[in-house]
Structure 1
Amino acid sequence: MIDRNISVLIPDGEAPVLMIVLNCLSEVRGIKIHVMSDDNEIPMKHSNKVHKFSFYPKTTNTDFINHINKEVDKYNIDVIMPIFEDAIRVILEHKDLISSINKLALLPSYENFNTANNKGLLNKHLAENNLPFPKTQMIDKGVDFDIKTVDFPVLVKPAEGIGGGNGIDVFRDKSGLNEFLNSDKFNCTYLIQDYVEGYDIDCSVLCKNGEILAYTIQKPNMFGNSKYAPQISFEFLENDVLFKDVEKLMKTLNWSGVAHLDMRYDKNANNFKVIEVNPRFWGSVEASLFAGVNFPYLYAAASLGYEFDMPKYKFIDFMLMKGLVKSIKNDKSYLFKLNFIFKHTPMKYMLNDLKPTFYRFSRFFMRKIRPKKNFQHFIINSL
């Protein structure tokens, strides 16, 4: 698709999804990946997929933008591609300070980014646009709340931030909810949301001005430490009803860029309810790659103005590495399913790029022994 060598700058290399975005971009020849970070110790700085790593200590938002401008000028960057919420928010707030605004990847407006990222604002938007979502109420510490308005069971979760399933609880009666409201856990704005009987299902998208350019739909079949933790194994499938709801939501948000929508099938209402929108790259980006949709590459291509047909994806099963580990613990025979491991897990990327893995292991090991710095210095320099 892209007919020349290009350079991509990821300005938020400290983001937890860096490794999987790098793995996807590295599948395409001719892409030079530049990574900028406020953490000089990230394992992926040692990756053979990174053309150039630059460290800038974290200071002000203005400095962050200036550092981006410096990298763009110094290395003739073609696309500035932030990959996580914090950097995206800062860039949208200070777009006027970016010297080469034409090189910025597709992004939504600041207002629509905040609407998607904040669960309370998102629910208001869903209601205004007649899109299905669980009945939701906002509650704040110190503000009177009438518990009689709650229909149990309910899901309680922070209105913004945290992620990874953290801070989410289900309450089936008034006593449990009252205990939470009077505890130290209640320390930010929370949502009280009707608990939906059914199953989780997700949709990942790449959009431009509200139009979906690429997407995948996946249904989880294994979670991490709890059913509210991120999915670690899933199957890809198609669902026209769900897609039409996603299409409408992206259009009403006039969305540009990538997003991952957490949804849930309501078996009682027989519809798909929007739970939340992650307005950035997500933890299963590699899975979509294996299914046939390379979101990071398509994101770069679309941002450069290239047009392409909507890619079709395969209906495969996929496990993240945590899913594979969990499966092996439960069934040792998975150790011998090599064909599955290399075609349905990210194992090949770990084996093709061992230095970050070794560095990550050495950092973990360093915490267990003393002296720390000298041994780590020896380990890293010996690679």
Structure 2
Amino acid sequence: MNRVLVLDGMWNKSLAAVRSFGRKGFYVTAGERTRLATAIFSKYCSRRWIYSSPVLSQVNFLTDLEAELKAGRYDVIFPMEFSTQVLLTEVANRQMIEKYTRLPFADADLAKKGNDKAFIMQYARERGIGVPTTYMVNDIEQLAVIAKETAYPVLIKPRNSSGSRGIVYVKEKEELLTLYLKVHKEYPFPIIQEYIPDGGDVYGVGLLFNFQSEIRASFVYKRLRSHPVSGGPSTLRESVKREDVREIAGLFMKSLRWTGVAHVEFKIDPRDRKPKLLEVNPRFWGSLQLAVESGIDFPFLLFRLAMEGDIEPVMDYNAGVRCRWLIPGDLLHFIKNPERLRLKPNFFDFNTKDDIISLSDPMPVIGRLSSVLMFLYDKEMKHLLHG
């Protein structure tokens, strides 16, 4: 029997991986630092493993992990969150882990570059890829010059964050210094970036590369709703065919000599109708379930790649599939959107597929609801949520 270890069981993408493997008859261990985690409630978990917090004590976590790997005889390990992925792929830790199992992810140094918005914007611009006008700040004294020469509104973005964490909207130059210093206090030297006007669709591209940085799977979806309403993680999306963004994303990540999975996001600029690269997520992405529902099972393909050394490319999938994150993402969008009763697609279309809700595997809903308790009282979970 194939055996996999899926870490970071709190998140929707982890549940997608657990269900993917479990439905294929794998022995699946789901791990997290708390039992109140979405994926751990799935019926497809053969084992539920609670480990020491990698945030509070990396030493204790790695000790726990080595003991689990020794006992578990896993074929492949799947770190689902970026911080866990980076920790495991540091050179010394990778050497320990690969004595016991396979870890088919990019090395930590490359992943850190991919997660750095300043690096990604400059790297893309040098290669002729469209990006929003971006200012890299290395000295606070630069802000006076930037404030005068930039057009407003702009966004202040942490160099290293996910979702909408730390992003601030600046309407006019008088606000820039104050708001920048506020973000800088939590996220040193964030970038300042042009705000692409409303009216352009946002697309995500999921990718898989083999160990020679050749593309082995790609998938495109369009964001239909998000939380926060103004922009953030998608709460409703639809699989689409959009070859321009798929090609740009694939060539871009190939030029980085990428290995494993990645996610690249674009927004269509309504002024010239061209895609502008917004960010790279060098990890599994939150809306992973949509790709699986549409016919590209990235967790399973990555497993096969790790076990077989290479696989045939998988590029075809079903367009028009919709999947949402109802609890609590799309529900929060509905509550906070003043146009809630005029949403298109209709919020009350409950035939849409869901990241968590499943009649055949219902208990992860309880896991998601119970995990809210962790975010309310646990300092570490608040940190994960808010950065």
TM-score (norm 1): 0.82
User: Is 1:173 the counterpart of 2:169 in the alignment?
Assistant: no
Task: Using the TM superposition, name which of 357-366 and 240-249 deviates more.
Answer: 357-366
| Counterpart residue number, 2:234 | 231
Secondary structure, counterpart of 1:9 in structure 2: strand
Q: For the residues of structure 1 that align with 2:29 and 2:120, how far apart are their CA atoms?
A: 33
| Counterpart residue number, 1:330 | 341
Contact kept in structure 1, 2:6 and 2:78, CA below 8 Å = yes
| Counterpart residue number, 1:352 | 360
Q: For the residues of structure 2 that align with 1:302 and 1:102, how far apart are their CA atoms?
A: 17
Gaps of 5+ in 1: 369-383
User: Is 1:39 the counterpart of 2:34 in the alignment?
Assistant: yes
Q: Could you say if the C-alpha distance between residues 181 and 37 of structure 1 is closer, same or farther in structure 2, counting changes exceeding 3 Å?
A: closer
Task: Using the TM superposition, name which of 195-204 and 140-149 deviates more.
Answer: 140-149
Task: Using the TM superposition, name which of 274-283 and 140-149 deviates more.
Answer: 140-149
Q: For the residues of structure 2 that align with 1:114 and 1:24, how far apart are their CA atoms?
A: 28
1:245-264 alpha-carbon deviations (Å, 9 max, x no partner): 11211111111111111111
| Counterpart residue number, 1:190 | 190
1:302-336 alpha-carbon deviations (Å, 9 max, x no partner): 11125234141111141313276467973899798
Structure 1 position 30, deviation (Å): 2.4
Contact kept in structure 1, 2:130 and 2:276, CA below 8 Å = yes
Task: Using the TM superposition, name which of 246-255 and 152-161 deviates more.
Answer: 152-161
Q: For the residues of structure 2 that align with 1:150 and 1:335, how far apart are their CA atoms?
A: 38
Q: For the residues of structure 2 that align with 1:60 and 1:48, how far apart are their CA atoms?
A: 30
Contact kept in structure 2, 1:46 and 1:355, CA below 8 Å = yes
User: Is 1:312 the counterpart of 2:316 in the alignment?
Assistant: yes
Q: For the residues of structure 2 that align with 1:120 and 1:20, how far apart are their CA atoms?
A: 31
Q: For the residues of structure 2 that align with 1:65 and 1:363, how far apart are their CA atoms?
A: 24
Q: Could you say if the C-alpha distance between residues 70 and 173 of structure 1 is closer, same or farther in structure 2, counting changes exceeding 3 Å?
A: same
TM-score (norm 2): 0.81
Secondary structure, counterpart of 1:214 in structure 2: strand
1:323-369 alpha-carbon deviations (Å, 9 max, x no partner): 7646797389979856x34xx334652x323334335545768999x
Q: Could you say if the C-alpha distance between residues 50 and 331 of structure 1 is closer, same or farther in structure 2, counting changes exceeding 3 Å?
A: farther
Q: Could you say if the C-alpha distance between residues 107 and 241 of structure 1 is closer, same or farther in structure 2, counting changes exceeding 3 Å?
A: same
| Counterpart residue number, 1:56 | 51
Q: For the residues of structure 2 that align with 1:190 and 1:335, how far apart are their CA atoms?
A: 35
User: Is 1:279 the counterpart of 2:286 in the alignment?
Assistant: no
Q: Could you say if the C-alpha distance between residues 159 and 361 of structure 1 is closer, same or farther in structure 2, counting changes exceeding 3 Å?
A: closer
Q: Could you say if the C-alpha distance between residues 335 and 352 of structure 1 is closer, same or farther in structure 2, counting changes exceeding 3 Å?
A: farther
Root-mean-square deviation (CA, aligned residues, Å) is 3.1
Q: Which amino acid aligns with 1:114?
A: K
User: Is 1:88 the counterpart of 2:90 in the alignment?
Assistant: no
User: Is 1:107 the counterpart of 2:111 in the alignment?
Assistant: no
Secondary structure, counterpart of 1:105 in structure 2: coil
Structure 1 position 105, deviation (Å): 2.9
Secondary structure, counterpart of 2:201 in structure 1: strand
Which protein is bigger by CA-based radius of gyration? Answer: 1
